[in-house]
Structure 1
Amino acid sequence: MRTFYTALAVLAIALGVQGAAMADDITADVLTYDGNTKVVTAKGDVVIHANQGATITGSNGEYHFEDRSAFLEGGVHYVKDQTTLYADKMYLYQDKTARGIGSVNFHDELEKRTLKGDDVMYNPDTGFGKIEGNGYLESPDGILQAPHIEGNMKQVKVVATGGVNLSSSLHNAVGYGDQAVYTRTGANGTDGKLVLTGNAWVNQNGNSFNGPELVLRDEDKVVETTGRSTIVITNTGSTGSDSGSSSSGGGSTAPQGPVTAATPIAGRPEEAGSPLEIKDSK
């Protein structure tokens, strides 16, 4: 039997008349509204049709009318336009950042981008994304796998740390490094640059490169090395084999355009640096 409190219905009507942003509707087996905190607590088969077209389902959760945020747990499924998220728990923040915790799979079909990990944050509006634990980021540029991945997909700057495995169809390459930094001046920029540092290794077109730092550029589709490096050429017909032996001083450490490795990651919300939230089961 579903229980709906009169206070909740009255509040919904009042907010609708005032034109305030709010959830379109919340359905569950049991709903409780706290007039002091303006928080609705839901138990059992929760369905939230949130503002701006998002639909979230889970076993239990709550919705905050004050800041338009929400929390759900138990087989959470989030859908908004062409964006979907599956997770054990989910937080929806005021700035529209969605955060999944536990077996997270976040897919943005419009951008052809997938984020997976133990703790994943993503905001389709700003382009900011962060993955902690078993990180996996797939985009048209390739695949990055690392314990920690953070970046802005519109700026573009992505930093992966903790031991990074990469696969790039764009460069016909696979590789590894302690850290990877990919920068580009916007989603449609042509000056993309991937820098692998620390025990870096790349195999491109059958040729092997390893050294303290390896650089791959989108335009040239070649590998540059800095420091003491080793190159093993097994495919002399591949493009960019000779260019891989160049150690080009400053050119290999400073990306073209205004985006550099030192540029702060744009769109980073306050919640990105906060510890994992813990919610007691309601």
Structure 2
Amino acid sequence: MVSSTSVADGTLRVAERIHATLPSMPAAMAKIAELLLDDPTAPLELSITELAERAGTSPATVTRFCRQIGFPGYVQFRVGVATDAALGSADDDSWRTDIHRTLEPDDTPEDVLRTLLDAHIRSLRATASVLDLTQCARVAERIAAAPHVDIYGIGGSAAMASEMQTRLYRIGVNAHAWPEVHAGLASASIQDERTTAIGISHSGRTKETVEVLARAKDSGAHTVAITSRSTSPLAQLADSCLLAPVPEQYLHPADLSAKHSQLFVLDVLYLLVAQHDYSATVARIAASAEAVAGHRRAD
């Protein structure tokens, strides 16, 4: 569900909230989402019953949809749509130029910079709006107490796993990153109920990551998925799922906005772990900084 903070401060428009929560919506709600993305002002003309009929669902599902994206009910949702419509009439050109565009061959460097900045900001906002902080805190508690933490990531997600492993290890967590399936399976097979295993995959469909996390779960580990879709195989397998969605399709195949969303979730998780024994965390960071100080040139 979209957080109350994002709703209160107005950082996300209705369409952005829909994009952010769409990956975790059940099929009936997804029908409503798709209808509204195609026709954003439909609620201004339709009653809740009429909207439900057009989407092929029920008024109760429309109400649940409104709550899912951060509105108490249909009335408040219509007010949000009306507000966005008013804003859109004033700055529709800039909105479409800055937000709803992809990279083109003749884009200027300024166009590229603006497009990428908008895409990455939207990804971070979307992730912050759906991140379950209660679940995040529970996962951090398990990581802090675990005698062993495995982190699995294949391909592009391997860098995310390695970064998280380095940060956790530096504050005293016995963490290990496994970017290769054979080594990952070997480590996963010796986990137990005291350990935590984290699988990172944007799609949630990377076969190797799903396989390794499944082996860790079979061994008794508490399993965590960091992915963009709650309906993905990785998310469905895991005991805990932390969503890192990207609001829209990639601007291009190598778009890093998905990685920024993953890093954002991992950073929140890391800081919550660091808080568990703050004095020990500070001491370990200071000790590791002092150890490498001789390898830095003086200013």
* TM-score greater than 0.5 by the shorter chain: no
Structure with the higher fraction of residues in helix conformation = 2
Considering Cα pairs closer than 8 Å and 6+ residues apart, tell me whether 1 or 2 has the greater RCO: 2
Please identify the structure whose Cα radius of gyration is greater: 1
Q: TM-score when scaled to structure 2?
A: 0.21
TM-score (norm 1): 0.22
